[in-house]
């Protein structure tokens, strides 16, 4: 496998974070899966030890180091520790940056410190019962009133939906019904008319609370409008490259774990007098997957580098998202098969790896949506022939 | 789709059974899934109405009609009603026939009527913690004593393991340690030393109880030896063609349901102003799967015909098992994807279709074992060139 | 493999035809491949011995037996003898029936006997440089004049294009430019203005002549209009189920040959001290393909049965075409790989099996067009749920 | 697509080489394909203009720049100009380095300048009729005599076999028959007993001469032994990483061309009133392949970087070879399909792209052999868990 590049500081950070996970998170995961929700203390403990949100400026309690590799380490270790359904990165790196990217300084000062400390849990609510891939199809609306906006509508499949204290909610705000005219609102726990629905039962990601949210005449103060009214759709698009990179890093790490779990299993497990790893079918399948993993890892690592250099395009991020999410399913699926009956049992990690994996090609933009993005780019007029196109 | 062939009587039987399922089974499935086990009343009700075991002679309470298509109808309708994890066919057609095939008349008279009526639930226990694909690796043993055999060992992953009243247990019985010298024992609820372990938590088939069984110095009376001592391995092999046909019929019916559920969903669901069914990717994927399903159905139906004619080989049954189980997973997987986020939610049937499907290529002989069987046959010396080999 | 069903007479026919091929056709194939065209004598010899067109009435020189299995035997044996690029079935069963289906008795009497005897070679010309899948896009036109039609246009990729004496040509004939208003013309060798272009160089099917045809003010006598003017498009559609069944039988037989060739090779070839057939990767791949072949064969045989009963739908034929053509490529591809370097050499049959196969998913309706046909059917409003739909 | 990194000098080199190809090579390729062999002048012209062998020291006529990216540029542009079957890189970068790596200074001085100038064409002969993947199975032998070795045996599938003036031949040289005891001999045109067999007819790579070579009592002077006697097997192994990197760069560039050709075609070609590129099936397939290509390119480029740093392992090179060769076939195959009938015609480049591609997963180590290498590595005892293994 090609050498990966992390600084010494980052290696130390990795070790420290791994120890934190082993001590504070991993021992509780099974209980939280049973409960269908992570205990809020998880966020606070991570916050206390400086592992929740590392990117914000020191004034907000972060490390202020913009190198994405710190986040990459967090995501990799979390996934590799089988704590992926804690969903800390949604809080810290996917939703958090909305505040600094589009929010006012007042909003940052008011909200960010508590996000960094883990007192506040974050969520983002775009999807609705009738609008997922096609956000422009959403029906939630907000109408401007004196000092507030009146928000109405319902959202579904919202991660951290039960735990969240602060939810960024997208709603349509054009009196003329332009479907792309949206605004992002910061809705806070306790606002009148903001109700939570069921914590939805789902195939995997058992410790993550995925919920319905309802907004009935919620009066969102103008101070809680994120950025400029009407620009919500554009804002949502702006974060996509980063969000998909976060996703890709996580999916791939989960796939790496599935491969490692399986390799270990087949070396131990015997059938017909030999380890299952001694059969050529096992060897070839694992070699194919090992190859795909290494190649995907190389690509993701280069995407991280490009991202750090400010050069990662939304299209390349879509490629990373597409490939890693499909690979995560593929490796977990092969892993289940090679585990035999054990692969179907909760007590073997691979079983949950499989059911957890299945959502990756669906959320944060389905594989089909990724293909739409990619084909639009490469079949568009601007695409150059191979030997001229990328330098 | 090519015409299928059922008699008028069979069509009526199908209708009646479908009504029975709708009235007595389907309304409880979700509760039973929650409980991790089917209520025993399910077996009794089916027994009462003549739907549990149809093949045994009238003297035992059955219809005595050997046409496999009655069983096919039961399996198809059960799967199509999403009651596949009731696992009635394991009881009635997979384990039940061991009694008539290898048992004495005394044993049949003693046990069969209660199996037909549903008072007794059946299970079969071969797999052990260290021996699944490779049955010859099992460690359970039985030693002959005066009027009984002393059975010791443990079994795992036993379907109906908690509910079962009568368990056919395979154990090694050769003093000289010939690994293929096994005997089948009829172990009954209440025999001293026969303990049940945990009802194992698993990915899918939630209503089916899969359990560990322990045998500590169980004294199995000689009257409870099935067939001749030492012939257990051969007996187990003899039922394989039929068992895999049962499996194949079920996997394929589940796949048919997944396709139908998905087709229905994509016709209703809209994205970007059009039904998801209006996109060519959706159409082509569903057309490919429709084709694979129709072809597999044709093969399975011909296998049923061959079985009725006494001509189904173990190798052809292995092909049917291999193809249908892989297809079941494939269709469910595509179905989840086309459902978008809904595909991940318990409340949408496709989600459970997917997790239920994943075991099919593993149990009743893994896909790898099927390929061993098939390759041994077709790469063996007896295989003739195409234009002479099969007539 | 499930039993196939042929009558004793058919078995004898198979043997006789196989002998004919071995004596008269196979020894010349390599020369004809070199020449890029089959010698016309091939058709005459087959005609003389009664193997060219078997289905026509005895008055025309045929056997008059409508059972499609005679054709199936011809196609299977031809493919299995590696004489598939002779393309006799295009002549005899694909184009020939146009005469009896739509032609007048005069036309049949005038033309059919020479087709049966092999003096006349047949072709059909639909495709044009700018219109393949989409026949309605063709530009050839014919305008009615006193006693003839004036035909203009050009066709391409026409099989038997050089050898053909009689070509059925589709052209647009609507003064009002309705794109589906076509007429079929019987164009004969020697008609003024009918020119042949190049015998196109292509990847495989080397012995088959695929050519361009040009029509410059060809005066086609009215006696050579096939059926009613304006109904050409409908006529073309009517033959599709049969044509695709012919295709499917051939593709599958070629695939059977590729499998047999490969199985034989890997049993002989040694690497690292063992036959290549002794490696599990080889075994599993061949077992998978064996299974797919057997299942496809079962489906095709049932389609033949349905066709004989007058019940084969265009949609089922499309399924057969889709699956068998893709499988032909897949088996040949795996076969090449398992042959190692030999797989790339003309002197090993598998190499040509591979390049010959690659056209099957393209002509006679591409796989994409098959999927359009199938999805239209199964996503249409008339499709019923599984347990009611096909009996 | 992620940015690739070449120096300005390299970009200029690329432009110059592209012009050279367009002027001197590309116009002749079709003739050479027809002839089954490249005219020797191709090598001389490239030599004259400094494009044949760039890596050797200036004393031998090269540029002396060890940066692999010059070779990468040559390979990429050659493949992208559809001149891949010229096979210049086999001469210059695959065989040539054997001289500097293992040869004496005398040998370098005697032979290298003419290789650089293109007067000598190089080949390497390992494979035999009965030994390909398993080189230790070769039967050619050489016995030491006074001032020479007596070489006997035959080789097959030797690239540049007809054109070659200097052939590096592997033969067994252990009196005790240790199968890995081999010696490499420099056999020159005109040595008595060195005969060439047929220029083998093959599926693709039509302009490349692939031949049998025979050695009957060839007296190879001791001055023509390469390196130390007995070390031949080890020498062959040492070049593997570099050879597979060369292969990977070429396969991938060919795949890039196939994609570009296809994208261009589907944008132009119309069916049913729309460009074929307007159909979602086309878009999605091309997006998937675009993604795979970009990811593979990233990996190959990183392998080049690792190679330049002296860090490329044989295992990573095997991964690159495996993935790019399979991808080359996959893209060409999809390209043929999307071309419709045109994809089967020699006059459309994609047709030859497809037949040329098919050898890549076979030679220079089959995909199966790559998987053996990779699985041995990753299932071996030294493999560490993901989050520790590659930094
Ligand atoms: C566990 C979980 C957590 C989630 N967390 C959040 C969250 O925190 N916040 C949030 O806002 N959302 C969240 N979501 C929602 C998620 O982002 C959506 O489910 C996803 O975007 C897909 O939308 P959908 O479910 O409406 O599917 P649909 O958009 O209805 O798609 C259905 C199918 O149609 C396909 N399709 C759609 N358009 C096309 C087209 N043009 N061509 C071809 N095929 C097409 C899709 O790919 C898919 O296969 C979550 C979902 C899940 C399951
Ligand atoms: C829900 C459920 C219900 C079950 N019900 C019953 C029941 O009622 N009664 C009962 O007796 N058992 C039952 N089983 C057990 C089931 O039959 C076994 O799990 C199955 O046979 C596989 O055995 P294993 O789990 O030991 O896997 P193993 O045999 O350990 O196989 C592990 C992996 O190795 C592969 N492998 C094995 N040998 C080879 C080889 N030679 N070459 C290549 N690969 C190989 C396998 O294919 C598999 O991928 C059940 C299992 C489950 C999960
Ligand atoms: C060896 C050979 C022999 C032949 N013999 C004959 C013959 O005897 N007589 C005759 O008339 N013709 C013959 N043909 C022509 C053959 O039938 C056509 O090539 C074929 O129908 C495809 O048409 P096309 O080449 O125009 O491809 P196109 O129709 O241009 O298709 C190009 C690609 O676009 C795809 N495509 C088209 N429409 C859609 C859509 N709506 N959605 C998604 N994808 C789409 C196609 O599937 C294909 O992949 C022959 C061809 C060959 C190569
Ligand atoms: C166009 C062309 C150019 C070539 N140029 C050269 C050249 O210049 N010099 C030269 O020396 N050689 C050359 N070769 C030969 C080439 O390197 C060999 O063909 C290749 O190494 C495969 O060897 P083989 O053909 O003997 O296949 P085999 O080794 O016989 O392999 C047959 C099949 O068995 C499989 N197999 C083998 N071992 C195993 C195993 N343990 N487990 C599972 N599967 C296995 C292989 O993967 C393959 O699928 C060339 C070949 C071609 C076709």
Q: Is the dihedral of CA B356, B357, B363, B364 positive or negative?
A: positive
Which ipTM did the prediction report?
0.97
CA dist A383 and A375 (Å) reads: 11
Q: State mean pLDDT over A49-60.
A: 95
What pLDDT, on a 0 to 100 scale, did the predictor assign at position C124? 97
- Model confidence pLDDT, tens digit, residues C129-165: 999 999 999 999 999 999 999 999 999 999 999 999 9
User: Which atom, in ligand 4's list, is nearest to the CA of D90?
Assistant: 8
What does each C-alpha distance from A54 to A9, A57, A304, B115, B164 come to in angstroms? Answer: 14, 8, 16, 64, 55
Residue A322's closest CA among A373, A377, A380, A378? Answer: A373
Q: What is the largest CA-CA distance in chain C?
A: 78
Catalytic site residue from B71, B77, B243, B326: B243
**Closest residue on chain D to A74 (Cα):** D387
Residues in A touching B343 (Cβ below 8 Å): 362
- Which ranges of C224-366 would DSSP assign to H, the alpha helix? 232-238, 240-268, 280-308, 314-339, 349-357
What pLDDT, on a 0 to 100 scale, did the predictor assign at position D381? 85
Spatial CB neighbours of B145, under 8 Å, sequence gap ≥ 6: B219
Annotate B151-186 with b (16+ C-beta within 10 A) or e (fewer).
bbbbbbbbbbbbbbbbbbbbbbbeeeeeeebbbbbb
User: Cβ of C362 and D344 within 8 Å?
Assistant: yes
What pLDDT, on a 0 to 100 scale, did the predictor assign at position B195? 97
Spatial CB neighbours of A177, under 8 Å, sequence gap ≥ 6: none
Nearest Cβ partner for C375 among B14, B286, B296: B286
What pLDDT, on a 0 to 100 scale, did the predictor assign at position C52? 96
CA dist B281 and B285 (Å) reads: 6
User: Cβ of D279 and B280 within 8 Å?
Assistant: yes
What pLDDT, on a 0 to 100 scale, did the predictor assign at position B235? 96
Q: State mean pLDDT over C111-126.
A: 97
Residue where the block lists tokens 């368990």:
B167
Q: State mean pLDDT over D200-209.
A: 98
Q: State mean pLDDT over A170-183.
A: 92
User: Cβ of D279 and B279 within 8 Å?
Assistant: no
Q: Is the dihedral of CA A317, A323, A326, A331 positive or negative?
A: negative
Residues in B touching A371 (Cβ below 8 Å): 281
> Is the pLDDT assigned to residue C197 strictly greater than 90?
yes
- Model confidence pLDDT, tens digit, residues B228-238: 999 999 999 99
What pLDDT, on a 0 to 100 scale, did the predictor assign at position A68? 97
Residue where the block lists tokens 């103008």:
A222
Give the orientation angle of helix D41-48 with respect to helix D105-117, to 10 degrees.
100
**Closest residue on chain A to B362 (Cα):** A340
Low-confidence ranges of chain B (pLDDT < 70): none
What pLDDT, on a 0 to 100 scale, did the predictor assign at position D70? 97
The confidence band for D34, taking pLDDT boundaries of 50, 70 and 90, is very high
Distance, CA of B289 to chain centre: 23
User: Which atom, in ligand 2's list, is nearest to the CA of B200?
Assistant: 1
Beta pairing, strands B166-172 & B122-125: parallel
> Is the pLDDT assigned to residue A382 strictly greater than 90?
no
Residue where the block lists tokens 């020119």:
C195
Nearest Cβ partner for C263 among B4, B266, B378: B378
Task: Give the E-state strand segments of chain A in sequence order.
Answer: 122-125, 141-144, 148-159, 166-172, 182-188, 194-199, 210-221, 225-226, 270-271, 274-275
CA dist C262 and C337 (Å) reads: 9
B15 touches chain C (CB under 8 A): no
User: Cβ of D132 and C355 within 8 Å?
Assistant: no
A390 touches chain C (CB under 8 A): no
What pLDDT, on a 0 to 100 scale, did the predictor assign at position A146? 93
The encoded tokens of residue D275 equal 């460009």
Q: State mean pLDDT over A159-179.
A: 95
With a CB-CB cutoff of 8 Å, which residues 272-331 of chain A face chain D? 277, 283-284, 286-288, 290-292, 294-296, 298-299, 302-303, 306, 311, 316, 319, 322-323
Spatial CB neighbours of B71, under 8 Å, sequence gap ≥ 6: B54, B55, B89, B92, B93, B246, B249
- The secondary element (H helix, E strand) that includes residue A287 is helix A280-308
Helix (H, G, I), strand (E, B) or coil at B142: strand
Residues in B touching D279 (Cβ below 8 Å): 280
Annotate D6-45 with b (16+ C-beta within 10 A) or e (fewer).
beeebeebbeebbebbeebbbebbeebbeebbbeeebbeb
The encoded tokens of residue D198 equal 């047929």
Residue A290's closest CA among A303, A302, A277? Answer: A277
**Closest residue on chain D to B278 (Cα):** D280
> Is the pLDDT assigned to residue C1 strictly greater than 80?
no
The confidence band for C212, taking pLDDT boundaries of 50, 70 and 90, is very high
B309: closest CA of chain A, how far (Å): 33
> Is the pLDDT assigned to residue D1 strictly greater than 80?
no
- Which ranges of chain D would DSSP assign to H, the alpha helix? 8-20, 26-35, 41-48, 68-80, 88-89, 96-102, 105-117, 232-238, 240-268, 280-308, 314-339, 349-357, 367-378, 386-389
Q: Give the single-character DSSP code of A90.
A: I
CA dist D94 and D246 (Å) reads: 8
Give the number of C-alpha atoms closer than 13 A to the C-alpha of residue D331, restricted to the C-beta side: 33
Cβ < 6 A, ligand 1 pocket: A 123-127, 132-134, 157-159, 202, 205, 210, 359, 362-363, 366, 368-369, 372; B 269, 271-272, 276, 279, 281-282, 337-338, 340-342, 344
Beta bridge partners of A144: A149
The confidence band for C364, taking pLDDT boundaries of 50, 70 and 90, is very high
Q: State mean pLDDT over A282-295.
A: 98
Residues in C touching A280 (Cβ below 8 Å): 279-281
Beta pairing, strands B210-221 & B148-159: antiparallel
The confidence band for A309, taking pLDDT boundaries of 50, 70 and 90, is very high
- Model confidence pLDDT, tens digit, residues D305-349: 999 999 999 999 999 999 999 999 999 999 999 999 999 999 999
With a CB-CB cutoff of 8 Å, which residues 64-93 of chain A face chain D? 76-77, 80
Q: Are C163 and C209 in contact (CB under 8 A)?
A: yes
**Closest residue on chain B to C259 (Cα):** B386
> Is the pLDDT assigned to residue A250 strictly greater than 80?
yes
- Model confidence pLDDT, tens digit, residues D241-288: 999 999 999 999 999 999 999 999 999 999 999 999 999 999 999 999
Residue B68's closest CA among B79, B76, B60? Answer: B76
Distance, CA of B232 to chain centre: 20
Residue B286's closest CA among B269, B271, B264? Answer: B264
**Mean pLDDT, all residues of chain D:** 96
B220 touches chain A (CB under 8 A): no
- The secondary element (H helix, E strand) that includes residue A177 is none
CA dist D367 and B343 (Å) reads: 36
What pLDDT, on a 0 to 100 scale, did the predictor assign at position D55? 95
Q: Are A127 and B271 in contact (CB under 8 A)?
A: no
- Model confidence pLDDT, tens digit, residues D285-306: 999 999 999 999 999 999 999 9
> Is the pLDDT assigned to residue A350 strictly greater than 80?
yes
The CB of D89 under 6 Å from ligand 4? The reply is: no
Q: Give the single-character DSSP code of C222.
A: G
What pLDDT, on a 0 to 100 scale, did the predictor assign at position B378? 96
What pLDDT, on a 0 to 100 scale, did the predictor assign at position C177? 85
Q: Are C184 and C227 in contact (CB under 8 A)?
A: yes
**Mean pLDDT, all residues of chain A:** 96
What pLDDT, on a 0 to 100 scale, did the predictor assign at position D389? 83
Identify which ligand lies nearest to the alpha carbon of A367.
1
> Ligand 4 centre and the CA of C336: distance in Å?
11
C388: closest CA of chain B, how far (Å): 10
What pLDDT, on a 0 to 100 scale, did the predictor assign at position B388? 86
CA dist D259 and D332 (Å) reads: 7
CA dist A227 and A220 (Å) reads: 14
Nearest Cβ partner for D391 among A4, A259, A311: A4
Nearest Cβ partner for A386 among D257, D288, D386: D257
- Which ranges of C103-227 would DSSP assign to H, the alpha helix? 105-117
Classify residue C361 by burial, with Cβ atoms within 10 Å: 0-12, 13-18, 19+: buried
Residues in D touching A253 (Cβ below 8 Å): 386
Predicted model pTM = 0.98
Phi/psi of residue C30, each to 5°? -65, -40
A56 touches chain B (CB under 8 A): no
Show contacts of C186-189: CB within 8 Å, 24+ apart.
C186/C103, C186/C107, C186/C111, C186/C220, C186/C224, C186/C225, C186/C226, C187/C125, C187/C151, C187/C215, C187/C218, C187/C220, C187/C224, C188/C224, C189/C164, C189/C165
The confidence band for D2, taking pLDDT boundaries of 50, 70 and 90, is confident
C-alpha Rg value of chain D to the nearest Å = 22
Residues in A touching D259 (Cβ below 8 Å): 386
Residue B212: Cβ within 10 Å count: 20
C-alpha Rg value of chain B to the nearest Å = 22
Beta bridge partners of B184: B170, B226
Q: Are C350 and C262 in contact (CB under 8 A)?
A: yes
């Amino acid at each position: 496998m090609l050498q990966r590049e992390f600084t010494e500081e980052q290696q130390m950070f990795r070790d420290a974070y791994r120890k934190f996970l082993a001590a504070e998170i991993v021992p509780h995961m099974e209980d939280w899966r049973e409960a269908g929700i992570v205990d809020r203390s998880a966020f606070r403990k991570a916050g206390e030890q400086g592992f929740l949100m590392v990117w914000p400026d020191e004034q907000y309690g972060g490390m202020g180091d913009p190198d994405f590799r710190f986040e990459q380490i967090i995501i990799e270790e979390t996934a590799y520790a089988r704590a992926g359904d804690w969903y800390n990165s949604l809080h810290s790196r996917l939703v958090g940056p909305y505040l600094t990217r589009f929010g006012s300084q007042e909003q940052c000062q008011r909200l960010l410190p508590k996000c960094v400390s883990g007192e506040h849990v974050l969520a983002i609510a775009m999807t609705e019962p009738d609008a997922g891939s096609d956000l422009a199809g959403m029906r939630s609306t907000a109408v401007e009133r004196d000092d507030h906006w009146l928000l109405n509508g319902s959202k579904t499949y919202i991660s951290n939906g039960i735990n969240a204290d602060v939810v960024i909610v997208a709603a349509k705000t054009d009196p003329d019904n332009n479907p792309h005219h949206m605004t992002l609102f910061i809705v806070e726990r306790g606002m009148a008319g903001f109700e939570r629905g069921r914590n939805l039962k789902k195939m995997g990601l058992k410790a993550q609370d995925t919920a319905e949210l309802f907004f009935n005449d919620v009066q969102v103060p103008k101070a809680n409008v994120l950025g400029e009214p009407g620009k919500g759709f554009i804002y949502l698009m702006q974060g996509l490259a980063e969000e998909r990179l976060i996703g890709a890093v996580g999916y791939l790490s989960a796939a790496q774990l599935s491969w490692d779990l399986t390799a270990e299993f087949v070396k131990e497990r015997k059938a017909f007098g030999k380890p299952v790893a001694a059969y050529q079918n096992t060897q070839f399948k694992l070699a194919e997957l090992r190859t795909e993993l290494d190649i995907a890892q190389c690509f993701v690592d280069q995407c991280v580098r490009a991202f750090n250099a400010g050069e990662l395009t939304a299209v390349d991020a879509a490629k990373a998202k597409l490939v890693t999410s499909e690979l995560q399913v593929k490796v977990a699926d092969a892993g289940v098969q090679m585990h035999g009956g054990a692969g179907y049992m909760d007590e073997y990690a691979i079983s949950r790896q499989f059911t957890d994996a299945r959502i990756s090609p669906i959320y944060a933009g389905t594989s089909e949506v990724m293909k739409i993005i990619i084909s639009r780019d490469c079949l568009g007029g601007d695409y150059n022939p191979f030997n001229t196109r990328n330098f």
